[in-house]
Amino acid sequence: MNLTDSKYSRYSIVKEMLETASMIEKLDVKKIEAYAGKIKTKKIFFTGEGSSRIFPAKNTMYKAKIHNYKEYFSTENSTQALEYDLKDSTVFIASNSGRTKEAGRLLRKLKKEGHKAIFGVVANAGTPILEEADFGYLLSCGKEEAVAATKSVLEQALFYDLIFRKTNNLKLPDMKKLGTQVKEVLEMKIPEEITGQLAAAGMIYFAGRNDGVTEEITLKTNEITRKKSDFLEGTYALHGIEEVMDKKDAMVVINPFKEEEDKFCELIEKGVGCKTCAIATRDTCFKTVKIPNAGDFTTYLELAAGWNILIDVGIKLGINMDKTVRARKIGNVI
């Protein structure tokens, strides 16, 4: 995608995706690091609705397991969290709007119970979640016009990522380099063969790790392309669901497990006839959108590649990607 071609530049969602790169480069890392000193518990709970929770929370939780973080992390939607005992947890509530009803209801319940360690992570100033939380972080990315959240999701994820890398004494990324890599991936030309197969599919399956990337792209597929989609965690695609797949479907595998890649080719692409492509830092047995390897931060490039693919699919289908029929910018308002 790019802003020199009118088929892209007329959409706010494209502009907002491309703004992500400069947002990363300009991010005030020291300001974010300062929040690490406010965390006094080992238990960390992430909540929010939809995109404000999926990638930001699960990206951090995935890295915590890889690097054996000292904290214990968990996540759930805000309404189910009403049933949980969170008194010994630091609670992060992410809400792009700052006015999400479910998140606000949980925040007020916790405050009523005397909770003193609630972080509000929002994109809009003067909103209830930002003002009522014990600690607030106002995202620097600015307002989004498109219904589908993009740049805000990535900044929410970086906020968590940088804080807990700091508390665990891990090296922080070169933000300028990461921003450049994100821009490179967003501006990559997606092969027409991949775009065409996904646009023609009745159902698009996404397979990958439970690190928030694949699940978030699955959600964006609904919002951007209006295609039905499903997230198949890990190797779930090899354990029963292939029974209902057919040749009209397509699958995107993100960062395929080397140990199971051949089996995916054998059972899904060849056996079912489900047209399959991949996003990866290496060549795979599938048609592959190849991205740079950014180490721990490759997940951000995988997400950017997914966005890029979906934009081309949406354009091919002639969809107004800024405006949805039923989905709203704020799903449920305080």
Q: How many domains does the chain have?
A: 2
**pLDDT tens sequence across 284-329:** 999 999 999 999 999 999 999 999 999 999 999 999 999 876 665 5
Do 207 and 256 sit in the same domain of this protein? yes
Residue 324 falls inside a structural domain: no
Do 18 and 153 sit in the same domain of this protein? yes
**pLDDT tens sequence across 66-81:** 999 999 999 999 999 9
Residue 230 falls inside a structural domain: yes
Do 154 and 238 sit in the same domain of this protein? no
- Residue 51, domain extent: 6-173
Q: Quick one: DSSP state of residue 37? A: G
Residue 243 has pLDDT above 90, yes or no: no
Boundary (domain end) residue, out of 173, 206, 223: 173
Residue 233 has pLDDT above 70, yes or no: yes
CA distance 25 to 44: 27
What per-residue confidence (pLDDT) applies to 292? Answer: 98
Residue 249 falls inside a structural domain: yes
Residue 1 falls inside a structural domain: no
Residue 54 has pLDDT above 90, yes or no: yes
What per-residue confidence (pLDDT) applies to 329? Answer: 57
Q: 334 falls in which pLDDT band (50, 70, 90)?
A: confident
What per-residue confidence (pLDDT) applies to 71? Answer: 98
Residue 246 falls inside a structural domain: yes
Do 156 and 218 sit in the same domain of this protein? no
Boundary (domain end) residue, out of 112, 143, 173: 173
- Concatenating the DSSP letter of every residue in 194-252 gives HHHHHHH-SEEEEEE-SSSHHHHHHHHHHHHH--EEEEEETTGGGTTGGGT--TT-EEE
Do 77 and 29 sit in the same domain of this protein? yes
Do 218 and 122 sit in the same domain of this protein? no
What per-residue confidence (pLDDT) applies to 323? Answer: 84
**pLDDT, mean over the chain:** 95
Q: 29 falls in which pLDDT band (50, 70, 90)?
A: very high
Give pTM, 2 decimals.
0.96
Residue 330 falls inside a structural domain: no
Burial class of residue 169 in the structure, from the number of CB atoms within 10 Å of its CB (0-12 exposed, 13-18 middle, 19+ buried): exposed
Task: Output b/e per residue, 223-261; b: 16+ Cβ within 10 A.
Answer: bbbebebbbbeeeebbeeebeebeeebbbbbbbbeeebb
**pLDDT tens sequence across 94-153:** 999 999 999 999 999 999 999 999 999 999 999 999 999 999 999 999 888 888 899 999
